[in-house]
C-alpha cells in the first residue's frame, strides 16, 4: 500500500503555476463599456480567439473578461498533451459522413503544428517538444482496443501512425507489462502555463484588453453582465468550458468533469535509464478510465487520471484541491507503470474541470441573429482543439460581419452542432458516478483476466452514455 508524501502540495491551482508563478493581476472591468467583441473566459479558447481575431482585423476592439486570472481553468492545469485528438469525431462521421469527419481530423493534425509555429513566431517559450504521442496496452482487452483504435486512426488518414510491438513500445517508454503500443507524430509535450501566459502577453501586446477578477454572471444578445458593469458588443463569445454552469441559464449545457494530476520530484538519471522516455512522447493507455502522462522539461513525471469524476450540482473544485484517495490512486498507477519510480516523492497534486457535452462532441457555434458564440465541450482534449476552435470562431465572425468568406474551417462538421442538455440532478450525478464505477470495475476485471475482448459492462456503459 502506497502512502501520500507529507510534503505533497495539494491544489494551489496547479504545479505549473507553482513552478512559473503568477504575473501581476490585471485590473477588473472598470464599468460599463462598448467593444466589438467580448470574450468570456481567459483560457486557451478565449485567448487564441482574441489572438486570431486581432491578427485578422487589427482595428477590432476586443475585451476578454476572466473571473479569476488567465489560465485559472483547465488551460493552467492540464497534462500538457498538445495533440490531435478531438472529442466526437465518430459521431460526426455518423452524422455527416466519413469525409467530413476526416476533414476535421486533418484540421486537428495541422493544429498541432500551428500551435508550435505560432509559439515560435511569437517568442512563447513553453517547453514544447514534438515527440508525438505513445499509447500503450497492458491487458489483452486493452491490446484489442489499441489495435482497433490504431486501424481507425489510419482510416481517418493518419498514415504516419506506427503500430508498435511490446518491445518497440518499451524501447520508447518502458511501461511495466506493456503488450503493444501505437505512436503518432501529431503531438507535443508542452508546459501548459508557460503557453498560456505567453499567449496572454502576446494578445495584450496586440491591443486586446484583458480584465481579470471579473466574473460574468449573465450572457445575453450583444451583452455580458458582470458585477462591475456590462460590456456591450456585436459578438459575445462564451469560452468558459468546465465552468459554464456558473453562467445564468447554462447549468445543464456542459457537465464539469474532474481530472486530477500528480507530479513527482525530478527523477535521477538511474531511474531514467530504466524507463527510457528519451523521446519525451506524451503517454497514455487504453483503460476505460484512462491515464495520461508527460516527462517534464526538468525530468519529473506528471501523471493524471479521472479520480472522483463529478461533483453534485456541477460544482467545481476549490482552487484545484483534490481528494487524498485520488492522490494515492495516481501514485499507485505511477508505481505500477514505472516500478523504478517507486521511491519518488510526489511534489504536487491538483485537479481541474473539463466541459463534457451530453453527446461528448466538441463544438463551435455562432448565432448570427444574436451575435452569441461559444466553443468548447472538448472533454479531455482541448489543448490543441481550442486553437482550431479559435480560428473557426474568427472565420465565422469574419463571414458574419462581411469581412471574409466561408472557409474550410466554417464548413467543418462541428460548427453549429446542436446538442441536448444534461439531465437535472440527481440523475446527472447518479449517471456519471454509475458510469465511472462501471469503467473502474471493467478496468479491474480486464487487468486480472486474460480475455482479449472489452468487458461487456464497459461496452454497455459506452452505449448508454453516448461516450
Ligand X SMILES: Cc1cc2nc3c(=O)[nH]c(=O)nc-3n(C[C@H](O)[C@H](O)[C@H](O)COP(=O)(O)OP(=O)(O)OC[C@H]3O[C@@H](n4cnc5c(N)ncnc54)[C@H](O)[C@@H]3O)c2cc1C
77 or 417: CB nearest ligand X: 77
Binding track over 32-51 against ligand X, x by CB under 6 A: --------xxxxxxx-----
Supply the minimum distance, in Å, between the C-beta of residue 409 and ligand X.
17
Residue with cell 479559435: 390
Told to check if 18 binds ligand X by CB under 6 A, we report no
Q: How far apart are CA 395 and CA 388, in angstroms?
A: 11
Interface pick for ligand X out of 2, 19, 246, 323 (rule CB under 6 A): 246
Contacts of 96 (CB under 8 A, 6+ apart): 413
Residue 163: beta bridge partners?
182
Give Cα separations from 106 to 65, 334, 376 (angstroms).
32, 33, 19
112 or 397: CB nearest ligand X: 112
73 or 181: CB nearest ligand X: 73
Instruction: Return the closest-CA partner of residue 447 out of 259, 262, 288, 284.
Output: 288
Residue with cell 467530413: 100
Cis peptide before 444, with omega less than 30 degrees from 0? no
Told to check if 112 binds ligand X by CB under 6 A, we report no
366 touches 76 (CB < 8 A): no
Residue 371 Rama label (left phi>0; alpha psi -120 to 50; beta): left
Longest dimension (CA), the chain: 64
Return the half-sphere exposure (C-beta side, CA atoms, 13 A cut-off) of residue 200. Answer: 27
Supply the minimum distance, in Å, between the C-beta of residue 268 and ligand X.
25
Q: How far apart are CA 213 and CA 164, in angstroms?
A: 48
Per CB under 6 A, the segment of 165-173, 351-359, 366-374, 446-454 that binds ligand X is: 351-359
Per CB under 6 A, the segment of 30-38, 50-58, 73-81, 92-100 that binds ligand X is: 73-81
Per CB under 6 A, the segment of 20-28, 76-84, 113-121, 428-436 that binds ligand X is: 76-84
For 222-323, where are the alpha helices, taking DSSP H only? 269-275
144 or 310: CB nearest ligand X: 310
C-alpha cell belonging to residue 217: 454572471
181 or 307: CB nearest ligand X: 307
Interface pick for ligand X out of 132, 181, 352, 371 (rule CB under 6 A): 352
Binding track over 79-108 against ligand X, x by CB under 6 A: xxx---------------------------
Give Cα separations from 131 to 51, 119, 259, 318, 353 (angstroms).
26, 16, 23, 33, 26
421 or 445: CB nearest ligand X: 421
Supply the minimum distance, in Å, between the C-beta of residue 319 and ligand X.
11
Per CB under 6 A, the segment of 67-75, 112-120, 138-146, 154-162 that binds ligand X is: 67-75
Interface pick for ligand X out of 10, 49, 63, 75 (rule CB under 6 A): 75
Interface pick for ligand X out of 26, 54, 77, 394 (rule CB under 6 A): 77
Q: Which residue is nearest to ligand X (CB)?
A: 382
Told to check if 373 binds ligand X by CB under 6 A, we report no
Supply the minimum distance, in Å, between the C-beta of residue 224 and ligand X.
8
Contacts of 418 (CB under 8 A, 6+ apart): none
Instruction: Return the closest-CA partner of residue 372 out of 241, 221, 233, 246.
Output: 221
How, if at all, do strands 229-238 and 33-40 pair?
parallel
Told to check if 173 binds ligand X by CB under 6 A, we report no
Told to check if 187 binds ligand X by CB under 6 A, we report no
Told to check if 386 binds ligand X by CB under 6 A, we report yes
Per-residue buried b or exposed e for 29-60, using 16+ beta carbons within 10 Å of the residue's own CB: beeebebbbbbbbbbbbbbbbbbbbbeebeeb
147 or 308: CB nearest ligand X: 308
307 or 371: CB nearest ligand X: 307
Supply the minimum distance, in Å, between the C-beta of residue 167 and ligand X.
27
243 or 277: CB nearest ligand X: 243
C-alpha cell belonging to residue 26: 490585471
Within residues 257-316, the interface with ligand X by CB under 6 A covers 259, 261, 292, 304
The helix-helix angle for 44-56 and 192-206 (nearest 10°) equals: 30
Supply the minimum distance, in Å, between the C-beta of residue 456 and ligand X.
29
Interface pick for ligand X out of 381, 387, 392, 465 (rule CB under 6 A): 381
Told to check if 132 binds ligand X by CB under 6 A, we report no
Supply the minimum distance, in Å, between the C-beta of residue 393 and ligand X.
11
**Radius of gyration of the chain measured on its C-alpha atoms:** 21
172 or 228: CB nearest ligand X: 228
List contacts with ligand X (CB under 6 A): 40-46, 65-68, 72-75, 77-81, 215-216, 239-243, 246-247, 259, 261, 292, 304, 352-354, 376, 378, 380-384, 386
Amino acid at each position: 500500500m502506497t502512502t501520500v508524501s507529507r510534503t505533497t502540495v495539494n491544489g494551489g491551482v496547479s504545479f505549473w503555476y507553482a513552478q512559473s508563478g503568477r504575473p501581476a493581476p490585471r485590473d477588473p472591468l472598470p464599468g460599463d463599456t462598448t467593444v466589438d467583441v467580448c470574450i468570456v473566459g481567459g483560457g486557451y479558447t478565449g485567448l487564441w480567439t482574441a489572438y486570431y481575431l486581432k491578427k485578422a482585423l487589427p482595428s477590432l476592439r476586443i475585451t476578454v473578461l476572466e473571473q479569476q486570472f488567465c489560465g485559472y481553468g483547465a488551460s493552467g492545469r492540464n497534462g500538457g498533451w498538445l495533440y490531435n485528438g478531438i472529442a466526437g469525431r465518430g459521431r460526426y462521421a455518423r452524422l455527416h459522413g466519413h469525409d467530413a469527419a476526416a476533414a476535421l481530423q486533418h484540421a486537428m493534425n495541422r493544429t498541432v503544428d500551428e500551435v508550435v509555429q505560432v509559439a515560435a513566431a511569437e517568442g512563447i517559450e513553453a517547453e514544447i517538444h514534438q515527440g508525438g504521442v505513445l499509447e500503450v496496452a497492458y491487458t489483452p482487452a486493452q491490446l484489442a482496443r489499441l489495435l482497433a483504435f490504431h486501424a481507425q486512426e489510419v482510416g481517418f488518414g493518419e498514415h504516419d501512425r506506427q503500430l508498435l510491438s511490446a518491445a518497440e513500445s518499451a524501447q520508447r517508454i518502458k511501461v511495466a507489462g506493456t503488450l503493444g503500443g501505437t505512436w503518432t507524430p501529431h503531438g507535443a509535450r508542452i508546459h501548459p502555463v508557460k503557453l498560456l501566459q505567453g499567449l496572454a502577453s502576446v494578445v495584450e501586446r496586440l491591443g486586446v484588453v484583458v480584465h481579470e477578477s471579473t466574473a460574468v454572471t449573465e450572457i445575453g444578445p450583444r451583452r455580458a453582465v458582470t458585477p462591475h458593469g456590462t460590456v456591450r458588443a456585436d459578438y459575445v463569445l462564451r469560452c468558459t468550458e468546465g465552468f459554464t454552469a456558473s453562467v445564468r441559464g447554462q447549468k445543464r449545457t456542459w457537465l464539469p468533469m474532474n481530472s486530477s494530476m500528480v507530479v513527482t520530484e525530478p527523477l535521477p538519471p538511474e531511474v531514467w535509464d530504466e524507463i527510457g522516455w528519451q523521446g519525451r512522447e506524451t503517454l497514455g493507455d487504453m483503460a476505460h478510465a484512462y491515464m495520461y502522462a508527460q516527462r517534464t522539461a526538468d525530468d519529473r513525471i506528471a501523471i493524471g487520471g479521472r479520480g472522483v469524476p463529478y461533483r453534485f450540482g456541477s460544482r467545481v473544485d476549490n482552487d484545484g484541491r483534490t481528494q487524498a484517495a485520488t492522490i494515492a490512486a495516481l501514485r499507485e498507477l505511477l508505481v505500477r507503470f514505472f516500478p523504478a519510480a517507486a521511491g519518488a516523492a510526489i511534489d504536487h497534486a491538483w485537479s481541474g474541470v473539463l466541459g463534457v457535452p451530453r453527446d461528448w462532441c466538441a463544438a463551435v457555434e455562432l448565432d448570427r441573429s444574436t451575435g452569441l458564440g461559444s466553443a468548447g465541450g472538448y472533454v479531455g482534449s482541448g489543448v490543441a482543439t481550442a486553437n482550431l476552435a479559435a480560428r473557426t470562431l474568427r472565420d465565422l465572425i469574419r463571414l458574419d460581419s462581411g469581412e471574409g468568406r466561408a472557409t474550410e474551417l466554417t464548413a467543418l462538421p462541428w460548427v453549429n452542432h446542436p446538442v441536448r442538455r444534461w439531465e437535472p440532478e440527481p440523475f446527472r450525478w447518479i449517471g456519471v458516478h454509475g458510469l465511472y464505477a462501471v469503467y473502474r470495475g471493467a478496468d479491474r476485471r480486464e487487468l486480472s483476466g486474460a480475455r482479449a475482448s472489452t468487458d461487456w459492462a464497459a461496452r454497455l456503459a459506452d452505449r448508454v452514455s453516448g461516450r
